[in-house]
Amino acid sequence: MENKNSPEIRKGKNWFDKYYKLMFIVPLLIIILSVAYVSYFYSQTGEILQRDVSLSGGTTITLNNGQNNIDFDNLEKQLKEKYTDITFRKLTDLRTGEAIAFMIESSSQPEPLKADIESVIGYKLTEENSSTEFTGSSLSNNFYKQLMIALLMSFILMSIVIFIMFRTFVPSLAIIFAAFADIVTPLAIVDYLGIRLSAAGIAAFLMLIGYCVDTNILLTSRAIKTREGSVNSRIFGAFKTGILMNLTALFAVLPAFFLITGLPDSFRQIFLILALGLTADMINTWLTNTSIIKWYCTKKGIE
Amino acid sequence: MKLHWKIWVLIIALIVAALFIAPWAMFEKGVMIKSVEKNSTELSIGLKSGMIIREINIYPINNLEDYTRAVSEIFSNINQSIKITIKTTENSFILFTDEQLKITVGEIPKSKIKTGLDLSGGARALVKPQNVTLSDLEIADLVAVTGARFNVYGLKDITIKPVKDLQGINYLLIEIAGATPTDLETLVGEQGKFEGKIGNQTVFVGGKDISHVERSGQRAGIESCSAQQQTEMCRFSFPISLTEEAAKRQAEITGALTISSEDPQYLSEKLDLYIDDNLIDSLFISKDLRGQVTTQISISGSGTGETRADAIKSAEESMKKLQTILITGSLPYKLEIVKLDTISPTLGKEFTKNLIILALSVFIIISVILFIKYRRIKITATVVLTMFSEAFITLGIAALINWNLDAPSIAGIIAGMGTGVNDQIVIIDESVSNAHISLKERIKRAFFIIIGAFFTIIAAMIPLFWAGAGMLKGFALTTIISVLAGILITRPAFAEILRKIQED
């Protein structure tokens, strides 16, 4: 498929041979910036991410809008006076743009919060018109700790798989480094945006570990495991395949928050984090990892 | 055209998945019985939950509206018993009544796929004993007792199961589908009251008055079996120890009883066991116990069945149930609700609808991207078919193992579809590149990448099976099933179909 003598490729090759080390700088800056931001976040809050009530303890009440036409702004205003940590979110219908439901989160116990909402909206909350989720604080802290351990375990297991696959130090390390960057950049963005992560959100980070390394595996195996054509043409071939993989995966997750907003929150968080991770992965695979692999091939004399 | 065996595997997998999902249920007419009231005529004539009603008297029942209309017409103004004929898919039942039917009905499920609480509505409680760690045996007791208590309250569609987290802490997970009683919290959080009464006098209260229940060993088990007409009957017995105080109370109460006129082996009154004031069992009292202050008493009962093995099984089950009930009031700990969610069914419907729209839009978007890239209808169609197959097989397996699909599980399926597409892109690109290497070798290379990606995703998902008491197990499970279905079934078939397309 690749025609090495086409002017376009030759031009690409020259450019690539000259500047591949510089390609490393952009992603490196992003990673350093991300790590710095997460560290700053940690120094300010004592946490590497903001947890929602399912991971810190508290109550989520979801009001179905239905025919009730709740005056949400008023409700928000009144509740904010009493609960300092309360957060509000609106779920809207895809086609009509009308509010389907309102989500109210607070570290409070369910009963007082329910009573206060009832007194503002003027009717009783039942299982039909609302959902209530309560998580005790000791359990949620425990959940959070365990999910963090799970995240670490996932990362270690993934690293072992990569080492077994390639059995070479630098290329394997490059993939693991890219995977680390795929996690830390979305984390920094999520922190920056002030998103409170739920258990499902953290699970999405685990998924990122498995989801993002496939383009890296593709690149590394094409570059160092096969010998057809030049290194550059193999890398370029991998890029053409991999970027399509990245794009389809990204487009598969994007509709979940641009098109359809009336989805369970756990679901939207998973997809948001996957989208951020996949974007980060494009940079980390095709700039970071590509430049390391090219450098490795040059050093090792792989043609 | 002769089909390669890999394609046959895919076809068979799809058929089997279809059998598990059984989507044709959506065309089935009738209403399903959700529950039948305790001690009702309806129950005694053999109506059971899960049966599908097709006809009541002359009225054909196709859906809930038909049922409501039929029932309201039949019972509109009657003042005497009338004959009601209920036809189900298998049988006809006849009863005479002047009251509304003592059953609740609902729509027939559209398929065997079950949705989780966040999509179908219902309640979920995660319960932990306060300040103690339970052993596996103790948590199994707790499951049995909680189940027995919920049964007493007539709550349906409940799953109660023990869950363990990464640190080995045992929890009790209780899930109730559909609308839930408002007093759920009290019901879950309290230990329950267990009483043994003779007449209306309390002999002992579970826990407080029972110091020991013998559950296994020589003195607890099946005593004897005998055949009566067509049925087999087995008797069991096991000893329990009462406290001194309860033993005295028992002596006083039994002292006032006479010998039973029906069976001279026993006393005239029975020992009735109650859970939360609901009668659950009545036991005969041996005549030797009359007026005796004894701390050791033997509790006995029986089980019946068509064969001896059935009778033994039934007796053992009854024995276990009784033992658990007697022990439980004695649970030496308080229960604490650490998580309680009640999800409105209305919102769940909205979510489900949106998830279906989302899945369809993902299909369309991916098809468009691939068509733009490859400009070949056949290739695009094959990818879409493969994606569909993976999702369908995953749903089939979820239906088979009775998995409740919650929002994270569905996210797992969509994410699995995403990796599936990625793998197919690798296969396509490998198969069209490097024309001087054999196609077989190129596909082999593609599979090296695919298998690598497969193992990394498995490695990443496995810790989720335990973390956080398995609340995100669904996500890990569907992701793993769909990548597994991909690697074992759909991708080999896909590579094969692609080879055919390339050769043409």
Most confident of A177-181, B209-213, B347-351: A177-181
pLDDT of residue B190: 64
pLDDT of residue A1: 41
Cβ of A153 under 8 Å from any chain B Cβ?
yes
pLDDT of residue A3: 46
pLDDT band of A219, cuts 50, 70, 90: very high
Contact B270, B198 (CB under 8 A): yes
pLDDT of residue A261: 67
Share of chain A above pLDDT 90, in %: 32
Dihedral of alpha carbons B9, B10, B11, B16, sign: positive
Cβ contacts (< 8 Å) between B369 and chain A: which residues?
244, 247-248, 251
Share of chain A above pLDDT 70, in %: 92
How buried is residue B373: exposed, middle or buried, by Cβ count under 10 Å (0-12/13-18/19+)? middle
| Per-residue pLDDT at A174 exceeds 60 | yes
Cβ of B178 under 8 Å from any chain A Cβ?
no
Residue-range domain boundaries for chain B: 5-22+345-503, 29-106, 122-191+334-342, 197-313
pLDDT of residue B352: 83
Read off the pLDDT of each residue in A153-181 and give the average, rounded to a whole number. Answer: 92
Cβ contacts (< 8 Å) between A253 and chain B: which residues?
414-415, 418
- Mutate which of B180, B372, B422, B478 to disrupt the A interface (most A C-beta within 10 Å)? B422
Read off the pLDDT of each residue in B160-189 and give the average, rounded to a whole number. Answer: 74
CATH number of B122-191+334-342: 3.30.70.3400
Helix (H) or strand (E) run with residue B136 in it: helix B136-152
- Per-residue burial over B274-297, b if 16 or more Cβ lie within 10 Å, else e, is bbeeeebbebbbbbebbeeeebeb
Read off the pLDDT of each residue in B63-77 and give the average, rounded to a whole number. Answer: 85
Specify the length of chain A in residues: 303
Contact B478, B394 (CB under 8 A): yes
Cβ of B422 under 8 Å from any chain A Cβ?
yes
| Per-residue pLDDT at B463 exceeds 70 | yes
| Per-residue pLDDT at B205 exceeds 70 | yes
pLDDT of residue A172: 94
pLDDT of residue A173: 93
| Per-residue pLDDT at B34 exceeds 80 | no
pLDDT of residue B485: 92
Superfamily of domain B5-22+345-503 in CATH is: Multidrug efflux transporter AcrB transmembrane domain (1.20.1640.10)
Contact B404, B477 (CB under 8 A): no
| CA A174 from centroid of its chain's CA atoms | 20
- For A63-72, the pLDDT digits (tens) are 887 666 777 7
- For B106-138, the pLDDT digits (tens) are 788 888 888 888 888 888 888 888 777 778 777
B29-106 has the same fold as B5-22+345-503: no
Helix (H) or strand (E) run with residue B336 in it: strand B335-343
Share of chain B above pLDDT 70, in %: 91
Six-digit token pair at B33? 């019985």
What Cα–Cα distance (Å) separates residue A5 from each residue in A12, A228, B109? 11, 15, 62
Residue type, A174: A
Range in A209-213, A244-248, A281-285 the model is least confident about: A209-213
| Per-residue pLDDT at B303 exceeds 50 | yes
| Per-residue pLDDT at B357 exceeds 80 | yes
Most confident of A47-61, B289-303, B334-348: A47-61
Q: According to DSSP H, which parts of A167-254 are helical?
A: 169-193, 199-220, 231-253
Distance between CA atoms of A100 and A91, rounded to whole angstroms? Answer: 6
Read off the pLDDT of each residue in B466-488 and give the average, rounded to a whole number. Answer: 85
**Per the CB < 8 Å rule, is A270 touching B408?**
yes
Q: Which residue has the higher pLDDT, B249 or B441?
A: B249
Q: Which residue has the higher pLDDT, B374 or B188?
A: B374
Q: Which residue has the higher pLDDT, B179 or B262?
A: B262
Backbone phi and psi for residue A60, each to the nearest 5 degrees, phi listed first = -115, 125
pLDDT of residue B331: 60
Beta bridge partners of B330: none
What Cα–Cα distance (Å) separates residue B34 from each residue in A69, A262, B92, B178? 33, 30, 18, 11
pLDDT band of A7, cuts 50, 70, 90: very low
Contact B283, B326 (CB under 8 A): no
Nearest CA in chain B to A252: B362
Residue type, A193: L
Helix (H) or strand (E) run with residue B305 in it: strand B296-305
Estimate the share of chain A in helix, then strand, then coil, as percent rounded to the nearest 5. Answer: 70, 10, 20
Q: Which residue has the higher pLDDT, B62 or A8?
A: B62
| Per-residue pLDDT at B100 exceeds 90 | no
Six-digit token pair at A68? 């009730």
Residue type, B320: K
pLDDT of residue A190: 94
Which value does ipTM take for this structure?
A: 0.83
Q: Which residue has the higher pLDDT, A98 or B235?
A: B235
pLDDT of residue A183: 94
- B152 Cβ contact partners less than 8 Å away, ≥ 6 residues apart: B275, B276, B278, B280
Distance between CA atoms of A269 and B436, rounded to whole angstroms? Answer: 46
- For B415-428, the pLDDT digits (tens) are 888 888 888 888 88
| Per-residue pLDDT at A5 exceeds 60 | no
pLDDT band of A2, cuts 50, 70, 90: very low
**Cα angle at B115 between B110 and B117, to 5 degrees?**
135
Q: Count of A–B CB contacts within 8 Å?
A: 260
Distance between CA atoms of B287 and B282, rounded to whole angstroms? Answer: 16
Most confident of A164-173, B422-431, B494-503: A164-173
Distance between CA atoms of B286 and B299, rounded to whole angstroms? Answer: 10
Contact A252, B365 (CB under 8 A): yes
Q: Which residue has the higher pLDDT, A235 or B229?
A: A235
Q: Which residue has the higher pLDDT, B18 or B349?
A: B18
**Per the CB < 8 Å rule, is A255 touching B365?**
yes
pLDDT of residue B179: 56
Secondary structure letter of residue B176 according to DSSP = E
Read off the pLDDT of each residue in B73-98 and give the average, rounded to a whole number. Answer: 84
Cβ contacts (< 8 Å) between A214 and chain B: which residues?
419, 422-423, 426, 449, 452-453, 456
Domains in chain A, start-ordered, CATH in brackets?
7-52+138-300 (1.20.1640.10), 58-135 (3.30.70)
| Per-residue pLDDT at B330 exceeds 70 | no
**Per the CB < 8 Å rule, is B336 touching A136?**
yes
pLDDT of residue A152: 92
- How many CB atoms are located within 10 Å of the residue B51 CB? 21
Read off the pLDDT of each residue in B28-56 and give the average, rounded to a whole number. Answer: 81
Residue type, A48: I
Estimate the share of chain B in helix, then strand, then coil, as percent rounded to the nearest 5. Answer: 50, 25, 25
**Per the CB < 8 Å rule, is A200 touching B118?**
no
pLDDT of residue B332: 61
Mean pLDDT of chain B: 82
Six-digit token pair at B494? 């896909």
Q: Could you say which of A138, A149, A252 has the minimum Cβ distance to residue B414? A: A252
Considering the segment(s) B29-106 as one domain, its CATH architecture is Roll (2.30)
Distance between CA atoms of B447 and A214, rounded to whole angstroms? Answer: 12
**Per the CB < 8 Å rule, is A131 touching B457?**
no
What Cα–Cα distance (Å) separates residue B150 from each residue in B37, B130, B174, B322, B475? 14, 21, 10, 15, 29
pLDDT of residue B339: 85
**Per the CB < 8 Å rule, is B344 touching A129?**
yes
Torsion angle (degrees, nearest 10) of CA A46, A48, A49, A55: -70
Name the pTM for this structure. 0.77
Torsion angle (degrees, nearest 10) of CA B64, B67, B68, B70: 160
